[in-house]
Chains A and B, each alone.
Chain A
Amino acid sequence: MLNPQLTPDGKLRHLLSTEGLPRAILNQILDTAESFVGVAEREVKKVPLLRGKTVCNIFFENSTRTRTTFEIAAKRLSADVINLNVNTSSQSKGETILDTIDNLTAMHADMFVIRHAQSGAAHLIAQHVAPHIHVINAGDGRHAHPTQGLLDVFTIRRYKPDMHNLRVALVGDVLHSRVARSEIHALTTLGVPEVRVIAPKTLLPQHVEKLGVQVYHDMREGLKDVDVIMMLRLQNERMSGALLPSAQEYFKCYGLTPEKLALAKPDAIVMHPGPMNRGVEIDSAVADGKQSVILPQVTYGIAVRMAVMSMLAGNSA
C-alpha cells in the first residue's frame, strides 16, 4: 500500500501522521523549522514563500490555539487565510465533509488544514482532493496531530540535541491522545532509544507496547532518570466516571509535582501540549518552574507549521 502522504517520488505531499514518515523527511521538517525561528524576531515577520496561495483552516471541531498558530504561520508565509468552523455552519445543514471540501476546492484553495473529531478524517480528505492540493492534519480524533508531535520533537531537539541518548516519558491519557501517538512515532523514528508511557490501565490503548514504548503504571518508577517529561491533557469529561474516579485521585497518582519531578534527571525538561489543567495533571509550581518549556513549545509551533506549509507548497506538482 502506498503511503498516502508521499508523492510517488517520496516527497511530502500531505502531512497526515508522523507514522510512516521517513527519518529524512522528519529531519528536513525540523531543519526547515530551525530556519523559521528567527523570522518572528525580525522587524518584518514575513517571508513570501506562500504569496498568492490560499490556505483554508477547516475546523470541524473547536480549537483556538491550534487554529491560531496555523493562521499565524500561514500569514507569516504571506498566504491568504480563510478560517472555517464547520461544526457551526454547513455540517449542521447535512452537508457531508467531502461536499464541504469540494466547495472550497471550487474556490481555488491550495492547502487545507483539517481538524476533525473522527480518526481518519484527514486521510479521507487527502484521498479525495485534486493532485495540486495539500492537506495538513491538525488533529483527527484520537489518531494523530502531527504538527503538534513535530513541534514537541523540535522543542526536545533544541534542548537535548542528542536524540540517540534520551529517555522520554509521556504521562497521562494516552488512550484518547492523538498528540501522544504522533509524538511516539516521531520519537521512535528519530532514534530515541527509550520512550515510556505512564498511565493507569484505563487510559492506555490495547497493545500500546506495540507502538515501541515501555509501559509504567507507577509514576515514580516511570520518571526515574528521564530527560524529558511530556504531560498529556486530561479532558474534563474523563476525570470522573468509569475511567477515573476523580481529578483529586488522578493528581495524587499521576499529577506532576516538584517532588515527583525530582526523580527525573536534574536537567530534565517538562512539556505540555496545552491547554493545561493546573492541579489535575500538573502542579503550577512545575508548569511555571525553570524546567518547564511549555511556552517555548507554543513559539516553536509556529516555526514548525511554517516549515510544513512551505515544504508542501514547494512539492507541488
Chain B
Amino acid sequence: MKILIKNGRLIDPKNNIDTTQDIYIAAGKIVGIGSGPAGFEATQTLDASGLLVLPGLVDLSARLREPGFEHKATLESEMQAAVAGGVTSLACPPDTDPVLDEPGLVEMLKHKAKQLHLAHVYPLGAITRQLQGKQLTEMSELTEAGCVGFSQADVAITDTQVLWRAMQYAATFGYTIWLRPEEPYLASGGTAHDGEVASRLGLKGIPAAAETLAIASILTIARETGASIHLCRLSTAEGVEMVRAAKQQGLPVTCDVSINHLHLTEHDIGYFDPNCHLRPPLRGQRDRDALSQGVIDGTIDAICSDHTPVDDDAKLQPFGEAEAGATGLELLLPLVCKWADEQNIPLPQALAAVTTKAAAILDIPAGELSLHADADLCLLDPAQEWKVEASVLQSQGKNTPFLGLHLRGKVRYTLVNGQLVYQAA
C-alpha cells in the first residue's frame, strides 16, 4: 500500500515543520516529505487541501475498560474512538479487573489490541499487586510483556515505606513510576474541589493540599531514591509551581494535565452535572490559569484526554455517587486546538504536548512525521464545526462535560502503520 497525501498543511512539532507539503507513505513508513522516492507510484492519493496533516496523537491516559468493565466500554469501541479522534498511540492505566499486575494479562491485552489493527496500546503495569499498596509487582517481567511504566491509577499508596521501596526497585531498572498525586486521607470522601462551589452545593471537598502534600512526599522520595517520576493529571496552581521548582533542581520528573482541566473549573458543575464529576476534581479559575501557563512554559510536558468511559447507570446518580470520569479520546484534538486558540499560542506548540512530548515520556517512537518514521498520522479539517452529541461519539462512553458544545476541528482520516484505519463518514 503506497499512499500519497497531497496539498496538506504539515505540522510536525518535533521537527519544527509547519508548511504545505506532500507526504509519501510506503510499507508502513514515511518515505518522503516534499518529494517521494524515485519511482513512487501511489495506490491511493488523499487530497488534503485545507486539512492539517499531523502526527498521530499520543495519549498518556486512556481507560479502555477491558478486561472487566465491558459494560462500560470494550477494547474495540474505545480503539475505534481513539482513531476517530486521531489518537494513534495510547497508554492505559492498570485499573482493569483483574488489575494489570501479571505479565499474562498484559500480553493478552497487547495481543487483543494488535488484532484490531487500530491504535497502538501501551499498558502501564500496576506498581503493587491488585493496586493494594503492599506487595510490588514483577516489574521486570511486566516490562518484558510490554509495560512502558508503572502506575497505581487512582489508588494511592498510603504506606510511604512501600512507596519508597517501589521507587527504589523501579530505579534499579530505570523504570518510570507514574503517580496521580493525591493524599488519600485529605481526599477521603471528597467529590469536588474544596472551594466556593462545593460549599454552596454541599459537596464534600478535596482540598488543593491533598495534591501538594502528595507531590511533596513523592518528590522527596524520588530525590532520595533517584527514581524517574511521571506525575499524572495535575490540578492545582501550587502543584504546578512545585513541579517547576523540582525541574529547575534537575529532578527526573515529568507531568501531564487532562484537557478537561485546561478548559473547565468548579463552576462548570452548575446544578450538579455528574459529567463534571472528575478525578482530580475541577478546581478554581486561578488553578486553571496556572495549568495553562504550565503547559505554555513547558513545566507540564503533556496534555492527556484522561479518557474514562462510564455507563449511564453509573453516571445517572446524584453527583457524589456518580462514577467519576469523562470520555475524551474524540475530544482531545479539537479541545487542544480550542485551547491553543484561546491562549493565543501557536498550534504547533500546543500540539507538541499531545505528540512528541507525550511520546518522549513513554519513550516510544511516535508523535512525529520524520522520514523513515512509522506512518502514524491524522488529517484534521480545522474548520469543520461539529456538535458534541452522544450519537456522534464512537466511544461507548457518552459522558462528557462538553456535551452540547460546538467544537471546531474534526479528524477526516487516521493512518496507523501506513494503513487507513479511520475515514470520516
A→B interface (CB under 8 Å):
1, 4, 19, 96-98, 116, 118-121, 123-124, 128, 140-144, 178, 181, 205-208, 210-211
Q: Which of B171-209 contact A (CB under 8 A)?
A: 194-196, 198-205, 207
Residues of A within 8 A of B317 (CB): 96-97, 118, 124
Query: Would A123 and B203 be within 8 Å (CB), given that A140-B318, A206-B195 are in contact?
Result: no
* Complex CA–CA separation, A19 to B202 (angstroms): 12
Cβ of A206 and Cβ of B318 under 8 Å apart? no
Q: How far does the Cβ of A118 sit from chain B's closest Cβ, in whole Å?
A: 4
Q: How far does the Cβ of B315 sit from chain A's closest Cβ, in whole Å?
A: 10
Residues of A within 8 A of B320 (CB): 118-120, 141
Interface: B346 (CB within 8 A): no
Which of A98, A140, A208 interacts with B199 by CB under 8 Å?
A208
* Complex CA–CA separation, A1 to B204 (angstroms): 23
Residues of A within 8 A of B24 (CB): none
Cβ of B316 and Cβ of A124 under 8 Å apart? yes
Interface: B321 (CB within 8 A): yes
Cβ of A181 and Cβ of B271 under 8 Å apart? no
Q: How far does the Cβ of B326 sit from chain A's closest Cβ, in whole Å?
A: 17
Query: Would A178 and B195 be within 8 Å (CB), given that A1-B270, A96-B316 are in contact?
Result: no
Residues of B within 8 A of A96 (CB): 313, 316-317
Residues of A within 8 A of B164 (CB): none
Cβ of B199 and Cβ of A207 under 8 Å apart? yes
Cβ of B196 and Cβ of A207 under 8 Å apart? yes
Cβ of B272 and Cβ of A181 under 8 Å apart? no
Cβ of A206 and Cβ of B202 under 8 Å apart? no
Cβ of A119 and Cβ of B199 under 8 Å apart? no
Residues of B within 8 A of A143 (CB): 201-203
**Which of B198, B271, B313 has the most CB atoms of chain A within a 10 A radius of its CB?**
B271
Q: How far does the Cβ of A183 sit from chain B's closest Cβ, in whole Å?
A: 13
Residues of A within 8 A of B316 (CB): 96, 98, 124, 128
Query: Would A123 and B271 be within 8 Å (CB), given that A181-B200, A205-B198 are in contact?
Result: yes
Cβ of B271 and Cβ of A119 under 8 Å apart? no
Cβ of B196 and Cβ of A116 under 8 Å apart? no
Interface: B319 (CB within 8 A): yes
Cβ of B201 and Cβ of A119 under 8 Å apart? yes
Cβ of A211 and Cβ of B200 under 8 Å apart? yes
Residues of B within 8 A of A19 (CB): 200
Q: Which of B266-315 contact A (CB under 8 A)?
A: 270-272, 274, 313
Cβ of B272 and Cβ of A124 under 8 Å apart? yes
Q: How far does the Cβ of A105 sit from chain B's closest Cβ, in whole Å?
A: 15
Task: Give 18 A-B pairs besides A1-B271, A206-B196 with Cβ atoms closer than 8 angstroms.
Answer: A4-B271, A98-B316, A119-B201, A119-B272, A120-B271, A120-B272, A120-B319, A120-B320, A121-B318, A123-B272, A128-B316, A140-B318, A141-B318, A141-B320, A142-B203, A142-B204, A178-B202, A210-B196
Q: How far does the Cβ of A209 sit from chain B's closest Cβ, in whole Å?
A: 10
Which of B198, B201, B270, B319 interacts with A206 by CB under 8 Å?
B198
Q: Which of B99-150 contact A (CB under 8 A)?
A: none
Over the window 313-334 of chain B, the binary record of Cβ atoms lying under 8 Å from chain A Cβ atoms (1 yes, 0 no) is 1001111110000000000000
Query: Would A206 and B199 be within 8 Å (CB), given that A96-B313, A119-B320, A120-B318 are in contact?
Result: yes
Cross-chain pairs A/B with CB under 8 angstroms, 12 sampled: A96-B313, A118-B321, A119-B272, A120-B271, A120-B320, A123-B271, A123-B272, A124-B318, A143-B202, A181-B202, A206-B196, A210-B200
Residues of A within 8 A of B194 (CB): 206
* Complex CA–CA separation, A97 to B270 (angstroms): 21
* Complex CA–CA separation, A178 to B201 (angstroms): 9
Query: Would A118 and B199 be within 8 Å (CB), given that A123-B271, A206-B194, A206-B205 are in contact?
Result: no
Interface size counted on chain B using CB atoms at 8 A: 23
* Complex CA–CA separation, A301 to B271 (angstroms): 26
* Complex CA–CA separation, A143 to B192 (angstroms): 13
Residues of B within 8 A of A211 (CB): 199-200
Residues of A within 8 A of B270 (CB): 1
Residues of A within 8 A of B200 (CB): 19, 181, 210-211
Q: Which of B191-250 contact A (CB under 8 A)?
A: 194-196, 198-205, 207
Q: How far does the Cβ of A158 sit from chain B's closest Cβ, in whole Å?
A: 28
Residues of A within 8 A of B321 (CB): 118
Residues of B within 8 A of A97 (CB): 317-318
Residues of A within 8 A of B195 (CB): 206-207
* Complex CA–CA separation, A123 to B320 (angstroms): 13
Q: How far does the Cβ of B212 sit from chain A's closest Cβ, in whole Å?
A: 16
Q: How far does the Cβ of B237 sit from chain A's closest Cβ, in whole Å?
A: 16
Query: Which residue on A lies nearest to B319, using beta carbons?
Result: A120
Residues of A within 8 A of B196 (CB): 206-207, 210
Query: Would A118 and B271 be within 8 Å (CB), given that A19-B200, A206-B196 are in contact?
Result: no
Query: Which residue on B lies nearest to A174, using beta carbons?
Result: B199
Query: Would A119 and B319 be within 8 Å (CB), given that A205-B199, A207-B199, A208-B199 are in contact?
Result: yes
**Which of B195, B198, B272, B316 has the most CB atoms of chain A within a 10 A radius of its CB?**
B272
Query: Which residue on A lies nearest to B270, using beta carbons?
Result: A1
Which of A124, A141, A210 interacts with B202 by CB under 8 Å?
A141
Q: How far does the Cβ of A19 sit from chain B's closest Cβ, in whole Å?
A: 7
**Which of A116, A142, A181 has the most CB atoms of chain B within a 10 A radius of its CB?**
A142
* Complex CA–CA separation, A57 to B199 (angstroms): 27
Query: Considering the complex of A and B, which 3 residue pairs feature the smallest CB-CB distances, nearest first?
Result: A142-B202, A120-B272, A143-B202
* Complex CA–CA separation, A128 to B315 (angstroms): 13
* Complex CA–CA separation, A118 to B317 (angstroms): 9
Residues of A within 8 A of B201 (CB): 119-120, 143
Q: How far does the Cβ of B124 sit from chain A's closest Cβ, in whole Å?
A: 32
Q: How far does the Cβ of B177 sit from chain A's closest Cβ, in whole Å?
A: 31
Q: How far does the Cβ of B186 sit from chain A's closest Cβ, in whole Å?
A: 12
Cβ of A119 and Cβ of B205 under 8 Å apart? no
* Complex CA–CA separation, A205 to B207 (angstroms): 11
Query: Which residue on B lies nearest to A181, using beta carbons?
Result: B202
* Complex CA–CA separation, A124 to B194 (angstroms): 22
Residues of B within 8 A of A141 (CB): 202-203, 318, 320
* Complex CA–CA separation, A116 to B201 (angstroms): 14
* Complex CA–CA separation, A116 to B356 (angstroms): 48
Residues of A within 8 A of B274 (CB): 124
* Complex CA–CA separation, A123 to B270 (angstroms): 11
Residues of B within 8 A of A207 (CB): 195-196, 199
Query: Which residue on A lies nearest to B321, using beta carbons?
Result: A118
Query: Which residue on A lies nearest to B320, using beta carbons?
Result: A118
Q: How far does the Cβ of A59 sit from chain B's closest Cβ, in whole Å?
A: 15
Cβ of B199 and Cβ of A144 under 8 Å apart? no
Q: How far does the Cβ of A114 sit from chain B's closest Cβ, in whole Å?
A: 10
Q: How far does the Cβ of B193 sit from chain A's closest Cβ, in whole Å?
A: 9
